[in-house]
Amino acid sequence: MTAEYFLVLGLIGVAFFAVAGALLGYEKNISGFGVVVVATVTALGGGTLRDILLSKPIFWIETPDYLYSTYAAIIATVLLIRYLPSVNNYYFLVVDAIGMAIFNIMGIEKALISGSGLVVAITMGITTGIFGSLIRDVICREVPSVMRNEPYASACLAGGLVYAALFSQDISYIWCILGSLITTISLRLGSLHWGWHITIFRKKDREVSQKSEVQNS
Amino acid sequence: MTAEYFLVLGLIGVAFFAVAGALLGYEKNISGFGVVVVATVTALGGGTLRDILLSKPIFWIETPDYLYSTYAAIIATVLLIRYLPSVNNYYFLVVDAIGMAIFNIMGIEKALISGSGLVVAITMGITTGIFGSLIRDVICREVPSVMRNEPYASACLAGGLVYAALFSQDISYIWCILGSLITTISLRLGSLHWGWHITIFRKKDREVSQKSEVQNS
Amino acid sequence: MTAEYFLVLGLIGVAFFAVAGALLGYEKNISGFGVVVVATVTALGGGTLRDILLSKPIFWIETPDYLYSTYAAIIATVLLIRYLPSVNNYYFLVVDAIGMAIFNIMGIEKALISGSGLVVAITMGITTGIFGSLIRDVICREVPSVMRNEPYASACLAGGLVYAALFSQDISYIWCILGSLITTISLRLGSLHWGWHITIFRKKDREVSQKSEVQNS
């Protein structure tokens, strides 16, 4: 039962991230085959790193369905954009948030199955959730989402804590997943909509100009 | 026999990529030891990722000959540049194309030997072919070649399809390799010479300025 | 005995790199949770790559103490910066140099234990020493330290050669470590203080402007 949920969630997760990658490629006006590369890296990067770290076979090599799901989502997105060119940045953020929330859970789950403790599992969830989009942003020369002062990795962390709390109460698996998904997605999208942000450091006046340079360059 | 071809091809491939990395370091005027780091990462990055993904021992740890070939090629390139400083960007592109074509084949071959199907194998070939130069471009803060609207990953894809087609016809191994090499290299160099390009998306007028920013920054 | 030294050295090494990552995040005015991500990647990146390459279990998954040491160092640094905001770039460079020197030794040591030869081991030391800070600089859109014309990877190389020389003389383990640490740290900090640099290529006049662009952008 768990394995089936896992596969379905995973296929949906890679598809969402593939769409997010293709949309960013479109935004950055990469018109060639590079769009496929960026979208594939976004979709498979986080889970690949998770499997490498846990010394498991890479998920898309063991189960090529993930690869087919990725390629199908990319082709669908490319066709959609060609015929509906009004797609905008808002869709990208929603799709990216859903993908991140799903991968966060999958990272936690797979680490727990491998016998890791909770701190390692939550770290693995964050890694799985943010790594694909981190590589995508680096390749596209964007400021990585995780470096902006909006909840991103912290939305993964919150989703992970909710998952752990529900799981420890022996609540049914499907509710653990839903609770974590809703927490991560609503924190991420809520923060974008209402401008929530986390401040660990008080801003330094002398570097405000330097900061804006980083964010805009 | 196959293993010997494989070793010889690989030693040539890492040497070509090491030369390409050292030439880019020279172009970017990195004058210190960083040139060696960039060239080594370029030469070994793609094959290292391939071996990690396939859960094989890393090729240059198992067979240090690859490491010696890399270092020898770097030293030779540095000496050549010091005494023949007229080396220009054209050599870089040729050397980079040959290295990519060789690594593409090696990625496909090693994935097939591991029992992967054709879609996974061709994905692995592209990954092996482009990953070293992708890290190199990220470290050197260049726009990654794969993001430019010229055949790059797609030249690997074409080479992979030719390889698969010839292989499925029971044609002798050496001709499969040659056919794939010629396809990839001629597509890549032909596109640079005659300006071929692939257009997946129609250009968006409103973002042409944004695009040129990406390409030039 | 060796294993205990190894653990203590490692816990100190990840803590130093975590501090260096948090300080760079502060310098770049990342005020949110991204600071934790950058610091964690810096602390664990090099050792993670080493363990992946050597096909060993990842050190912070096998021994979560490393993860706790990283998080504790990050929290301590954040608190310190909040109450002592006069922390400056000099501390960053010292902490970064010490972390690099420790990881260099740990990479060499772990490769030798795995049965690798000396060239592979020294390559692994450099990889372990520089990879965490390389990812950190890429994520923060800094020119990677290793690309600047100051001893960085070469300080690791020197430390590795000293370690190998002392080790081959059957000198006590603690002196091998100290000799290597002192060599790497003093080369790195000495070069920053007195402006030593390595010149592999003679500078090309026509590209001096391009170079300054790379270094300043």
Tokens 């018109």, located at residue: A31
Residue C134: alpha-carbon gap to chain centroid: 9
Residue A143's φ and ψ, nearest 5 degrees, are -65, 120
Asked, for residue C209, whether it belongs to a domain, the answer is no
pLDDT tens for residues A2-22?
677 788 888 999 999 999 998
Q: Measured between beta carbons, which residues in chain B are less than 8 angstroms from residue C203?
A: 29, 31
For the segment B98-105, the average pLDDT, to the nearest whole number, is: 92
Asked, for residue B214, whether it belongs to a domain, the answer is no
**Number of compact structural domains in chain A:** 1
Average pLDDT score, chain A = 84
pLDDT band for position B24 (cuts 50, 70, 90): confident
pLDDT tens for residues C70-125?
999 999 988 888 877 666 667 888 888 999 999 999 999 889 888 888 889 999 99
pLDDT tens for residues C191-214?
888 877 777 665 554 444 444 444
Please give the pLDDT value at position C206: 43
Tell me which H or E stretch contains C75. Answer: helix C65-83
Q: Measured between beta carbons, which residues in chain A are less than 8 angstroms from residue B120?
A: 60-61, 64, 67
For the segment B63-74, the average pLDDT, to the nearest whole number, is: 93
For residue C207, the distance in angstroms to the closest alpha carbon of chain A comes to 23
Contact B163, B179 (CB under 8 A): yes
pLDDT tens for residues B120-130?
999 999 999 99
End-to-end Cα distance, chain B: 48
End-to-end Cα distance, chain C: 47
Contact C7, C56 (CB under 8 A): no
Q: Measured between beta carbons, which residues in chain A are less than 8 angstroms from residue C38?
A: 147
Please give the pLDDT value at position C208: 44
For residue A213, the distance in angstroms to the closest alpha carbon of chain C comes to 10
Please give the pLDDT value at position A162: 94
Q: Cβ B202–A32 below 8 Å, yes or no?
A: no
Q: Cβ B123–A217 below 8 Å, yes or no?
A: no
What percentage of residues in chain C have a pLDDT greater than 70? 87
Nearest to B123 by CA among B172, B54, B44, B196: B54
Q: Cβ A120–C64 below 8 Å, yes or no?
A: yes
Please give the pLDDT value at position B50: 93
For residue A169, the distance in angstroms to the closest alpha carbon of chain B comes to 37
Phi-psi region of A159 (alpha: psi -120 to 50; beta: other; left: phi over 0): alpha
Q: Cβ B54–A61 below 8 Å, yes or no?
A: yes
ipTM of the complex in this document: 0.81
pLDDT band for position C44 (cuts 50, 70, 90): very high
Chains in contact with B, where contact requires at least 3 CB pairs less than 8 Å apart: A, C
Please give the pLDDT value at position C167: 83
pLDDT tens for residues B132-169?
889 988 988 888 888 887 788 889 999 999 998 998 88
Nearest to C10 by CA among C38, C56, C48, C39: C48
Separation CA A136–CA A140 (nearest Å): 6
Is pLDDT above 70 for A200? no
CA contacts within 13 A on the Cβ side of B7: 7
- Reading the block at residue C148, the tokens are 């600047």
For residue B83, the distance in angstroms to the closest alpha carbon of chain C comes to 10
For the segment B176-181, the average pLDDT, to the nearest whole number, is: 91
Asked, for residue B217, whether it belongs to a domain, the answer is no
Asked, for residue B204, whether it belongs to a domain, the answer is no
Is pLDDT above 50 for B215? no
The amino acid that residue B117 corresponds to is G
Asked, for residue C190, whether it belongs to a domain, the answer is yes
Which residues have CB under 8 Å from B73's CB, separation 6+? B14, B15, B16, B18, B19, B22, B39, B43
Please give the pLDDT value at position B194: 80
Please give the pLDDT value at position C23: 87
Lowest mean pLDDT among A190-199, B192-201, B207-216, C152-161: B207-216
Q: Crossing angle, helix C34-53 and helix C65-83, to 10 degrees?
A: 150
For the segment A200-209, the average pLDDT, to the nearest whole number, is: 52
Count of positions (residues) in chain A:
217
Please give the pLDDT value at position A208: 44
For chain C, which residues lie within 8 Å of any Cβ of chain B, measuring from their own Cβ? 52-55, 116-117, 119-120, 123, 126, 130, 134, 138, 143-144, 146-154, 157, 197-204, 207-208, 210-211, 214, 217
Asked, for residue C206, whether it belongs to a domain, the answer is no
Contact B175, B166 (CB under 8 A): yes
Residue A131: alpha-carbon gap to chain centroid: 7
Please give the pLDDT value at position B151: 80
Burial (Cβ within 10 Å: 0-12, 13-18, ≥19) of residue C8: exposed
Please give the pLDDT value at position C1: 47
For residue B100, the distance in angstroms to the closest alpha carbon of chain C comes to 22
Of the candidates C32, C60, C85, the beta carbon closest to that of A150 is on C32
Asked, for residue C213, whether it belongs to a domain, the answer is no
For the segment C175-195, the average pLDDT, to the nearest whole number, is: 89
For chain B, which residues lie within 8 Å of any Cβ of chain A, measuring from their own Cβ? 52-55, 111, 116-117, 119-120, 123, 126, 130, 134, 138, 143-144, 146-154, 157, 197-204, 207-208, 210-211, 214, 217
Lowest mean pLDDT among A85-99, B17-31, B150-164: A85-99
Residue C204's φ and ψ, nearest 5 degrees, are -95, 125
Separation CA A37–CA A81 (nearest Å): 17
For the segment C125-140, the average pLDDT, to the nearest whole number, is: 90
For chain B, which residues lie within 8 Å of any Cβ of chain C, measuring from their own Cβ? 26-38, 40, 48, 52, 57-58, 60-61, 64, 67-68, 71, 78, 81-82, 85, 138-141, 217
One-character DSSP codes across B77-115: HHHHHHH-TT--HHHHHHHHHHHHHHHHHHHHHHHHHTT
Domain that holds residue C167: 2-199
Asked, for residue C205, whether it belongs to a domain, the answer is no
